[in-house]
Each structure stands twice: as C-alpha cells, then as structure tokens.
Structure 1
Amino acid sequence: MKKLLVTGASGFLGWNLCQLARQEWEVYGTYFS
C-alpha cells in the first residue's frame, strides 16, 4: 500500500484530499492548531 503525507490536513483542501486518498492510500496528516 502506498503512503501519503498531507501537510495542512485540517484545512479545506487537505481534509478533502485525505478523504479521497484514504480509499487507496495509507494517509498521514499534519496540522497546526
């Protein structure tokens, strides 16, 4: 399984990217609160 690191996963684009990618990828997200 491929891995994906998304920086800014709490933002609009990052969140949607995580939701789409997690079907086929192992997704890791970072965020700054």
Structure 2
Amino acid sequence: MSKLNDEIKEAFFYVLFRPFAEFLMKGLFVLKQS
C-alpha cells in the first residue's frame, strides 16, 4: 500500500512541479535575452 502511495505522491509532485519548472526556465531564458 505504501509503495502505491509513494507513486501517487511522485506523480502528483511531477504534475505540479513540471509546469512551474517550465515557467522558471522560460523566465530565465527571457531574462538572458534582454
């Protein structure tokens, strides 16, 4: 059961974190361009 719980947490974290990471990378890219 705890293994499944860990997998759910990992997937949830990935779904939440991925757009945030992409947003950060885009922001850094824009800052470097200017």
TM-score, scaled relative to structure 2: 0.40
* Bigger CA radius of gyration: 2
